[in-house]
Amino acid sequence: MSVDVERELAELKAKVESTPGTGNKLTMVVFSGGLDRQIAAMIIATGAAAMGMEVVLFFTFWGTAALRDPAKHVSGKNMISKMFGFMLPKGRNALKLSQMHMAGMGTAMLKGLMKKKNVASLDQLFEVAGELAVKIYICEMSMDLMGFRKEEMIQYPNLEVCGVATMLAHAKESSLQFFI
């Protein structure tokens, strides 16, 4: 092989290796606070992790409510923060369906059907995600806007608070990006 061909192959290999989005990685923005959408996000995340992908979830805005620990109470919040805390679900088990909630009947029906069909609950999906090293990042700006604090969030092995730049850096390395 000529020196020129070898050089060109090396350059092409370097370009392919440095091309954004070629990693075996999934980055997902979890924006929705709906139970059905949270379940979908966690099924996709655990499925990708089980297939050997690195998985990063970026919880923002309404999605952050799923990460609140209902047993934790934080004092010293201002009135707006207290109002958000009161109005938004406290934890993943308080989430409602994004559609067909029907005053709680739709949510109860879905949870019952999931149990009957042996579909993992949201609690179980979070547990599996932790075991599979799925990383969860919480949007710092969303937490600040809603008056949430890290100390009121769930215990999770790979949970961090970060800004959008961190999510974008992960997305740039990912072969898959989702927004739920």
| pLDDT tens sequence for the chain (180 residues) | 677 777 777 777 776 666 666 789 999 999 999 999 999 999 999 999 999 999 999 999 999 999 999 999 888 888 888 888 888 899 999 999 998 878 888 888 988 888 999 999 999 999 999 999 999 999 999 999 999 999 999 999 989 999 999 999 999 999 999 999
Report residue 131 as tokens: 């075991």
Per the CB < 8 A criterion, the answer to whether 57 and 135 are in contact is yes
- Based on the number of CB atoms within 10 Å of its own CB, is 55 exposed (0-12), middle (13-18) or buried (19 or more)? buried
Q: What is the pTM of this model?
A: 0.85
Q: pLDDT at position 80, please?
A: 86
CA-to-CA distance for 68 and 119, rounded, in angstroms? 23
For the chain, which residues make up each domain, given as ranges? 23-179
Q: pLDDT at position 16, please?
A: 61
- CATH fold of 23-179: Hypothetical Protein Ychn; Chain: A, (3.40.1260)
